[in-house]
Structure formats: C-alpha cells, structure tokens
Structure 1
Amino acid sequence: MFVSVPPSDLHQHLGGLLLTEKGADVVFDVGGQTFAAHRCVLAARSPVFSAELFGTMMESDPAGVVHVQDMEAQVFKALLYFVYTDSLPKTEKADEEDDVMSQHLLVAADRYNLERVKLICQEKLCGFIDVGTVATILTLAEQHHCHGLKKACFNFLSSSANLRTVMATEGFKHLSRSCPAITEELIAMLVNDS
C-alpha cells in the first residue's frame, strides 16, 4: 500500500474549538456557570439548538446570553463536549455518580433531540439496573420514550424475586404515581408469573 489514510481527526479539531472558545458567538448560563460555544456547530448537531439560536424560539437576553433552566452545569458541559466530539467525556470509573450523570444526560439529550447521546446513556444505564435503581430507571425510560431501556428493566423485573423486592421500595411508589400504566404492566407480569 502506497498511501495510508489516517482516521478522521475532525472531532479533535472541533473539540479544540470548544476548549479554546476561538470564534465562539454564543454564551450559555447554566446554574451560574457560563459556557461559550458556536451557534453553527450547535445548530448543525441539534434541531432544538437550531430553533433556539436561529429560529423563532431564540432564547437569549439582549447581552446574547442563553439561560438554560433545569439542568446542572456539569450535565450541560458533557452535552456540549458530545456535540463537538461525538463522544462523552471519559469518567474515572463506573459508579453511582456515573449512573446519576447518565440519567441527567439522557434527559438533556432528549430535551435537545440528540438521539445518539440518548442511546449511549440508555446503554450505560442498562448496566446499572438493580433492585435499588430499576424503578427510577424505568420511570426515566417511560417518560423519555426509551424502549430498549424499558425492555432491559422489564427483563430484570421478570424475576418474581426481583419484582417483589422492588415493589417494596420507595422508588416503586414514585413509579406508581408518575407512570401508572407501567405499574399495571408490572402487576400483570407478576400475576402471569404465579
């Protein structure tokens, strides 16, 4: 072979733009922290950003700052990192913090219509399903239309022992209030199992 083509490094160049803020033309205020970004990059990656930054939904104050409500700064920072690099920031280890971050990031991805992030978060959350987390994860899956994640939760709950244990948790009580249709599906599964 006479010519060797290296892998694409576009993500490194765009990530560098985010890091250096060179040419940034929009600032986001999220939980008191500010993030400079590039309207064109955001609009190209998310139809919601496109509408917010270029369409009729423009959400900036006269100073050009976009205020993002109901989101933690670290979640928005991870979302921006993905927009520019098509990957999520590396985490030290898979633990409870990663579980919670994946939950928040899934909600943010759904809000900005970033389907790939949403799928990555669903895949991660499948690995965190246990008796203590399944009700919360299932609620999230139902509210944000995550069919694969919902199936993974149902698979975990297909064990009568798991289902009975989960039904005694506070998380299940919250699930019952916020997603009554899911509770009915689970009860039907329990009845059919016995």
Structure 2
Amino acid sequence: MNPIRATKRIKIAEELPEGSMLPENIRRPGETNEMADVKFIVEGEIFSAHRAVLGARLAVFKAELSESDSAAEREEVIPIMDMQAAVFKLLLEFMYTDNLPEDALFEIIQGLMVAANKYALEGLVVRCQQRLIKNLTLDTGTDYLIFADQNGFSKLKKECLQFLSKEDIIRKLALSLKHGLMGVNHPSLLHELREVYESRTLF
C-alpha cells in the first residue's frame, strides 16, 4: 500500500492572532444564542453558555455537565450560590476570550481571583494578581495584603509587604488609621510588615 502523501503544504502562522479564535456566534458569554446549551443563574441573573467551551477550559464544569445528557436535563438552569453575578460574568468572559476588561472594578477583581483559584484557572489568577499589584497605593495596599493573607495568595501578599515597607510608604502608614486597625484586627500582618521593613533597612 502506498503511503498517503500531502498534496498541499499548510502554512503555519508564526504568531497566534490576538483575541479569541472562537466563532463570533459563540463568543458572547451570558447572551442567549442558538448554540448555547447550558444556563446558569447567579443572584437572579441568567447566563447562557456552551458545554463544549466550559468543559474544555474547566475540568470541574466538565464533570458536572457530563452528568446530564437528556434533553430535559439540559434545559435545567444551574444555580451558582457562592459568587456575585458581576464576578461570574467576567469568569465566563475570560473562559471564552482570555480577556480581563481594563475597566473591571478592583473589588470585583478580588472576587474573580478567588473564583479563578477555586476553578483552577491559573491564567486568570495571574491576570487578577497583576492588575491588583499595579494598583497598589497606601489605601489599597493594606486591603490587598489582608485579602491575600486570608485567601492564601502568597505572591500578592509578598508584593504588598514589599510595597508597604518602603520608607516613604511605611511612614505614612504609621500615621494613618489603617495602621491602627491592622494592629488591632491583624496583628500578625503588622508584625510581618515590620520584619520586612527591618530587613530592608539592614546593611
């Protein structure tokens, strides 16, 4: 038997195109369209999506969605109880587009980071973390430090400690209300911050 020979060479792109490679008619998570075959309800809001897309991105969803195969079961709306609707919307958008909107509120990004960690979306965790780090200020630094410590985000916690331990920042923090509140509510974090500051000032 003669081997099969390719009659035409396929040119492979050197760079991936920007944005999603999904067809336009299934690239709008949350919107009702003919190809959507699963629905979620979050805080009373309905989101339509595609089992194939979710299953390809998340092993958790793949296991849950594969349990129902009949047409009747596919009409069921799946409730999401532990997430804000705004967070779930961005979670879906990232799964479809690998995009995190520039205008996303930082409070929502924190919730999104927790959700991404829960569903093992490492790329989204990194994107959220980078966005928060870029937004570090005296006001946000302590909030993000507490958030990182409570949720086990070690990289974000380290960045917050490094930022807050800067000479000019820690002096302002020492004079602020946030310093007192951290000492009362999170004494271990205040102790860690002092240790980082002292390690930076040693020669």
For normalisation by structure 1, the TM-score amounts to 0.75
Deviations 1:96-138 (A, max 9, x none): x632232222122112221101100101111111111111111
- Residue 17 of structure 1 pairs with residue 26 of structure 2: yes
Contact 2:42 2:84 in 1 (8 A): yes
Q: Give the match for residue 3 of structure 2.
A: none
Runs (5+) with no aligned partner, structure 2 = 1-9, 68-72
CA distance in 2 between partners of 1:45 and 1:171 (Å): 41
CA separation of 1:191 and 1:11: change in aligned 2, threshold 3 A:
closer
How big is the shift at 1:160?
Answer: 4.0
How big is the shift at 1:3?
Answer: 5.2
CA separation of 1:166 and 1:9: change in aligned 2, threshold 3 A:
closer
CA distance in 2 between partners of 1:101 and 1:171 (Å): 25
Identical amino acids, percent of aligned pairs? 34
Paired AA for residue 122 in structure 1:
Q
CA distance in 2 between partners of 1:16 and 1:9 (Å): 18
CA distance in 2 between partners of 1:151 and 1:39 (Å): 37
Q: Give the match for residue 181 of structure 2.
A: 173
CA distance in 1 between partners of 2:105 and 2:66 (Å): 33
Contact 2:37 2:50 in 1 (8 A): yes
Paired AA for residue 17 in structure 1:
I
RMSD of the TM alignment (CA)? 3.3
Q: How many positions carry a matched residue from both structures?
A: 182
Contact 2:41 2:77 in 1 (8 A): yes
Q: Give the match for residue 170 of structure 2.
A: 163
CA distance in 2 between partners of 1:78 and 1:152 (Å): 24
Q: Secondary structure at the match of 1:132?
A: helix
CA distance in 2 between partners of 1:21 and 1:76 (Å): 18
* Superposition pairs of residues 29-178 of structure 1, within 5 angstroms: 29-54=41-66, 64-91=76-103, 98-166=105-173, 168-170=176-178, 173=181, 177=185
Contact 1:24 1:37 in 2 (8 A): yes
Paired AA for residue 169 in structure 1:
L
Q: Secondary structure at the match of 2:41?
A: strand
CA separation of 1:103 and 1:15: change in aligned 2, threshold 3 A:
farther
Q: Give the match for residue 5 of structure 2.
A: none
Contact 2:113 2:124 in 1 (8 A): yes
Paired AA for residue 64 in structure 1:
E
CA distance in 1 between partners of 2:107 and 2:179 (Å): 15
For normalisation by structure 2, the TM-score amounts to 0.72
Q: Secondary structure at the match of 1:188?
A: helix
